Structure 1
């Protein structure tokens, strides 16, 4: 009886809401069956914010779907802000929607958006569409197909791709698109096509060095990130990280890239580290070189 009472109370509360925000950063396949019925109940809603990742559908979520199943039930809605990813989508039809096709469904209803779509034989289709200007502090994970833009409010970002490398030019674009980024996570097992550090040592070129002026925390996902990306970020011939204080990395990758904590071109980006998290503890050696390389690192903050 108590459960029924709670359900009825919640159900009636939804009807009275004028503002609602939903942020889900892990992919789920319950959007159509669980979330949509709840949203349809919010008939008095004036402001709606959705940041979601929906997986394993047979079509992308576009404005046609949102209007038919959600927004048409909200006659008072005047502000709709969204960041929507549909991934692992099986497209059964011969016509595969493009970025322009998805974008057009929103533009025709008066929304200012950007979008990118990609297809892969292994994982199916993926669509990422978001309203502009982007007002949230966190955006759903982006891939190598990210078209760029300006995201002044974003502080937290995850870059993830399992089939295409992230090249230096993309990281340059990211630094410009997210100028106030403070927390970055990189997931990519595919090696870069060009080893830029070695090329720069030979050419002594410095014009395209990237700077992440506000980046405080950098995370290379355990066992899912190639060592090339550790090199890309820690070598100051590629990237400058003046505020970096927290690093998540494989010990063997860090030891290799820093040449057992003696390499000068990676010393600058490591000098201000106060916290290092190693994913696997076996083989970790805190030598004299290690301690000199990370002068601000205490034993309690190296785990």
Structure 2
């Protein structure tokens, strides 16, 4: 056989299958399905190529490609498809292209109530699919939470309605698909019939108050075994009485709250003690004004002893306290010693003292660090790599030098959102921030940072981040900064050496809303 006569279709099915399986299934179906080759069509109807179809519009999913799928491919393989990953804008084209008798999982990107909610009503053309077939729903919610919106109305009209129409739903996950938070679930003042399900076993959702979490566990979700919840505010409403029975069905619980709470002991601890059959626990909590730091002894005696079936415990807990008793101030070794009897893996801690030692923050966490946020670190953070952290805030009352920010870039390689608070100048040499040259240090690179908050800093730090001879920010799109410091650092929006790091900024947020001058728009061409 001549080399020019060799054709991939001459290969046996087993070899051809191995080759095609290494390629993207969407590309394979688009290129090879329905090209008048029955052997290929039969091969491509295998579960490997048709079980899950990701038709989210990217550079590889053009309108032309989507048309071919909807007109020719989907009607012929609809019986094979079990999961769709699609965008809200194409939901009608795709779901009307076939009957999808075996479709059980739907992942929907860019959900917006105003544009898509008509598909989630009793009159929807997809009612037969949603009501009887879908058991897993992942919603990437593009609606934006704003402080004045009525969350109870949104909950009733969106989240409540979804549970009502998806009658066989077992797994329900809501994810933010935008730069902002999506509207939280708020059921504190709604009847139990608004958010009720006898089939749901897994729920991942953001709620507004701690009370909303308690209501989710009051029996309205009878089969719930996994709850992954992010809570905006944790505080104890003592006038409201809740069911305090043990939660025997709950096997996996994850609680994340990024805002500081004063009611950890009165709210979080009693709830966790009810989870007597829990097997997996994840906690991210920030506390303030306790009589002592949360440490290993507290976790063991107050929480873990009440969970005899627990085999996985992932946590980050920070305690911010006033420490008037300097004699009994806790050290790193003191805190680490309290974890001796905890059997769930390695742990570590960070302790920082401020204001002459009268204020302290203690961070305790399991290793490896699994969370995406780390709050209020100082120049004393440990020399480990936090490769999951995308949101970081740093604070200190002593000067942060160039070396500190170099350490940040190395320790947080995936950092996207960085917030800094420090009003102590980097140097005693006044006016040094006006110099463009930086021969003493290498340039710090933050390739992933898209949002930078330097609103509450000395002007030295504004220059530290905007001056191209000190820092490289190729993807910065949001900047929060004091307007007058920005004006000075950029020398009235004329300084060439700070222009590059400002070139892609689309959102410029200053301390007081103002109408920007023409010079600002010329300096920030992407605004």
Say whether the fold is shared (TM-score over 0.5): yes
- 1:130 aligned partner: 365
Residue 146 (str. 1) matches residue 377 (str. 2) = no
SS in 2 for 1:94: helix
Provide the rounded CA distance (Å) in 1 between the counterparts of 2:495 and 2:434. Answer: 15
The answer for the alignment partner of 2:250 in structure 1 is 17
- Aligned-partner Cα distance in 2 for 1:200–1:149: 34
| 8 Å Cα contact 1:107-1:113 kept in structure 2 | no
Is 1:109 matched with 2:109?
no
2:485 matches 1:250: no
Answer yes or no: is the 8 Å Cα contact 2:433–2:463 preserved in 1: no
Which TM-score applies when normalising by structure 2?
Answer: 0.51
Provide the residue aligned with 1:286 in structure 2: 517
- Partner of residue 412, structure 2: 178
Tell me how far apart the structure 1 counterparts of residues 218 and 278 of structure 2 sit (CA, whole Å): 19
Conserved 8 A contact 1:155-1:183: yes
Name 1:296's counterpart in structure 2. Answer: 526
Any idea what SS the aligned residue of 1:39 has?
helix
TM-score after normalising by structure 1: 0.86
In structure 2, relative to structure 1, the CA distance for the partners of 1:202 and 1:179 (3 Å cut) is: closer
1:272 maps to: 504
CA displacement at 1:112 relative to structure 2: 1.4
Alpha carbons of structure 1 residues 201 and 192: separation in structure 2 relative to 1, 3 Å: closer
Partner of 1:156: 391
Range 5-14 or range 115-124, more displaced: 5-14
CA contact (8 A) 1:197 1:238 kept: no
Gaps of 5+ in 1: 298-303
CA distance, structure 2, for counterparts of residue 80 and residue 19 of structure 1:
10
**Mapped contact 2:433–2:489 kept (Cα < 8 A):** no
Distance 1:158 1:66, change over 3 A: same
Number of residues of Structure 1 aligned to a counterpart in Structure 2: 290
Between 57-66 and 7-16, the greater mean CA deviation after superposition: 7-16
**For the pair shown, which has the larger CA radius of gyration, 1 or 2?**
2
**Contact 1:58 1:92 survives alignment (8 Å):** no
- The one of 210, 213, 219 equivalent to 2:444 is 210
Inter-CA distance 273–82: structure 2 relative to 1 (3 Å threshold): same
Question: Once superposed, which parts of structure 1, at least 4 consecutive aligned residues long, lie more than 4 Å away?
Answer: 5-8, 194-197, 199-204
- Deviation string for 1:151-183 (max 9, x for gaps)? 11111111123x222222111111111101111
1:118-158 CA-to-partner distances (Å, cap 9, x unmatched) read 23347522211211111111123212221231111111111
Question: 2: distance between equivalents of 1:106 and 1:209?
Answer: 40
The answer to which of 187-196 and 248-257 deviates more is: 187-196
Q: Tell me: higher relative CO, structure 1 or 2? Use CA pairs within 8 A at least 6 residues apart.
A: 1
For the residue of structure 2 that corresponds to 1:157, the secondary structure is strand
> Which deviates the most, 138-147 or 90-99?
90-99
| C-alpha distance in 1 between matches for 2:273 and 2:441 | 53
CA 1:12 to 1:196, structure 2 compared with 1: closer, same or farther past 3 Å?
A: farther
* 1:87–1:127 contact (8 Å) kept in structure 2: yes
How far apart are the structure 1 equivalents of 2:468 and 2:349? Answer: 33
**Residue 142 to residue 93, structure 1, CA distance change in 2 (3 Å):** closer
CA distance in 2, matches of 1:119, 1:199: 29
Unaligned runs of 5+ in 2: 1-190, 193-213, 220-242
Aligned residue number for residue 300 of structure 1: none
Gap change, CA 1:122 and 1:63, over 3 Å in 2: closer
Residue pair 1:63, 1:105 contacting (<8 A) in 2 also: yes
Q: Aligned equivalents of 1:197 and 1:12: distance in 2?
A: 64
The superposition leaves residues 194-247 of structure 1 with CA deviations (integer Å, 9 ceiling, x where unpaired) of: 6699489587526521110100111123xx322221111101121110111111
**Paired residues of 1:112 and 1:132 also in contact (CA < 8 A):** yes
Displacement after TM superposition at 1:251 (Å): 1.2
1:29 Cα deviation (Å)? 1.6
